[in-house]
Amino acid sequence: MDAHISVQQLHVWYGTQAALSAISVDIPRHGITVIMGPSGCGKTTLLKSFNRFLELNDTTRVSGTVAVDGHDIYAPGVDVTAVRKRVGLLAQRPTALPMSIFENVAYGIRIHQPHLDKQAIAGQVQHYLEVAGLWHEVAQRLDAPATALSIGQQQRLCLARGLAVEPEIILGDEPTSALDPISSRHIEQKLLELKQRYTTVIVTHTLRQAKRLADYVIFMYLGEIVEAGPAQELFANPQQERTKEYLAGVF
């Protein structure tokens, strides 16, 4: 396997509470990796360890390594801003910035490509709105407030905004759980289209969604990885008893 992210002996604590214990796993480059398991098992904690979002909580302690392309993102002197540019996060609930639709996407482009002129920025904004499948719905109202969009449109806007800073990896923390079924399918379809160009890692609590999207699966329980492997193999022939029980709907 060509591992884009390699995790070795990762432990995470929130205060004195252990959230992850001795996590070691490789995330394959490109394709969609799904992290699944029951509520409270550490899925989101593992996901947010990949872009150091865990540090937004002051009580968090992390040990072990998370290497992206062989470089430990927790090593001393690592630029956290650069890490988060390379590894973008699509949150559970979309958070449109309090500005226009256009500016939501242009904002990151200006920061990361300050040499671009207005025309080039406009071209980039259109490109990423097209990639996110939103351009034709908003092309005539780019100056309108982003908060006026439906929640499903806002999630696609957040996808466009995240892609505009040219990450290598897309993280999704239950990115469709707040959306209606049609909007959910929009996001799922976009993620499937993008997987040839990006390494995508998604947390989901929905087994049906995992089966629709996953190329690779990580099954977690109580802060540990029970089983991981190619989706087709894991769903068809799980090796661990707890995986079999979860897939059978026992818990």
Write the CATH number for 76: 3.40.50.300
Confidence of residue 205 (pLDDT cuts 50, 70, 90): confident
Residue 17 to residues 13, 61, 128, 223: CA-CA distances in angstroms? 5, 10, 40, 11
d(CA 53, CA 6): 17
Confidence of residue 58 (pLDDT cuts 50, 70, 90): confident
Q: Is the pLDDT of residue 227 over 80?
A: yes
Burial of 247 (0-12, 13-18, 19+ CB in 10 A): middle
Q: What is the DSSP letter of 100?
A: B
d(CA 159, CA 65): 28
Domains held by the chain: number: 1
Q: What is the pTM of this model?
A: 0.92
**Contacts of range 206-209, beta carbons closer than 8 Å, 24 or more positions apart:** 206/177, 207/36, 207/246, 207/247, 207/249, 209/34, 209/176
Confidence of residue 55 (pLDDT cuts 50, 70, 90): confident
Question: Is 2 within 8 Å of 24 (Cβ atoms)?
Answer: no
pLDDT tens-digit series, residues 116-175: 999 999 999 999 999 999 999 999 999 999 999 999 999 999 999 999 999 999 999 999
Question: Is 211 within 8 Å of 130 (Cβ atoms)?
Answer: no
Distance of alpha carbon 13 from the chain centroid: 21
The residue range of the domain holding 17 is 3-247
Strand, helix or coil at 248? Answer: coil
